[in-house]
Each structure stands twice: as structure tokens, then as C-alpha cells.
Amino acid sequence: MPTLIRKGNTYFAEKGSYFEGNVKVDGDFVVPPHTHFWGRLNVTGSLELGPRSSVALEISCRNALIGSQCRVKGPIIAHGDVTILDHASVHSVKAGGKVILRTGVIVGDVTSEDTIIVHGKIKSGNLIGKSMKVLGN
């Protein structure tokens, strides 16, 4: 498994790393661009998944920021907020907080216990939340 660098409660992966199997990080996890996970990703804190990274199975975390052009083939399960940036592809989202979907996102069903905010045109399954805001065209 590639080395993780720890600074306080935050862990950093090396750019372009490949992680085989399931990965569990106790804390926040910052993932640089072009990093790939071939199993589940379980983060007890917040996750920042860098652009063009991928996760083969599910992600579970407190909060998630999914970078542009990422691919997540399993569901994202977050206790808090989830932001999915431009042109990312995600199987589905279940969030306890807000969900923000940016232009060009492809996502299955999205369930939020708070607001779902859509910026621009996306492709999605069902969007279920406390309220819904659509911004842009």
C-alpha cells in the first residue's frame, strides 16, 4: 500500500497512488489528483478526492468533496455535506447534510436530509431532499 503522510489529524496520499483493497483512514484525508482506490474507502473525517481520481466501491465519510472528473463506482455515504464538482461520475449519494452538484455531474439517486443544490445541467436519478435549489441553466 502506498505511504500516507500525516499532519495532525489529516492524512495525505502521494500523487498518482494506487490503493488495492479496502482503505480506512482515522481522520481527514486529502487525496491528490490521479489517485485510484480498487476497494472501499472509509474515512472517519472529511474526504477531499482530487480531480480525475477513482474509487471502485463505496465511500463512507463525515463530509466529502469529490473533485472534477472523478469516478466513484459505488455509493457515497456521508454523515454531513457532499459536494461533487464538474463532470464527475458517481453511483449514488446518501448525505446527512447538504448536497451540491456542479455542472456536468452524472449521478444516480441522491438522498439528503438537507438541501440539494444543482449548479447547471446534470444527469441524475431521483433527487430527494428537504429542499431543492437549481442555479444556472
Measure the CA–CA gap between 111 and 19, rounded to whole angstroms: 28
pLDDT in tens, 106-136: 999 999 999 999 999 999 999 999 999 999 8
Residues 137, 77, 1, CA angle at the centre, nearest 5°?
A: 110
pLDDT tens for 34-84 read: 999 999 999 999 999 999 999 999 999 999 999 999 999 999 999 999 999
State the burial class of residue 118 (Cβ atoms within 10 Å of its Cβ: 0-12, 13-18, 19+). buried
Instruction: Find, among 95, 93, 11, the residue nearest to 55 by Cα.
Output: 93
pLDDT at 91 over 70: yes
Q: How far apart, in whole angstroms, are the C-alpha atoms of residue 117 and residue 99?
A: 6
Per-residue pLDDT band for 137 (boundaries 50, 70, 90) equals low
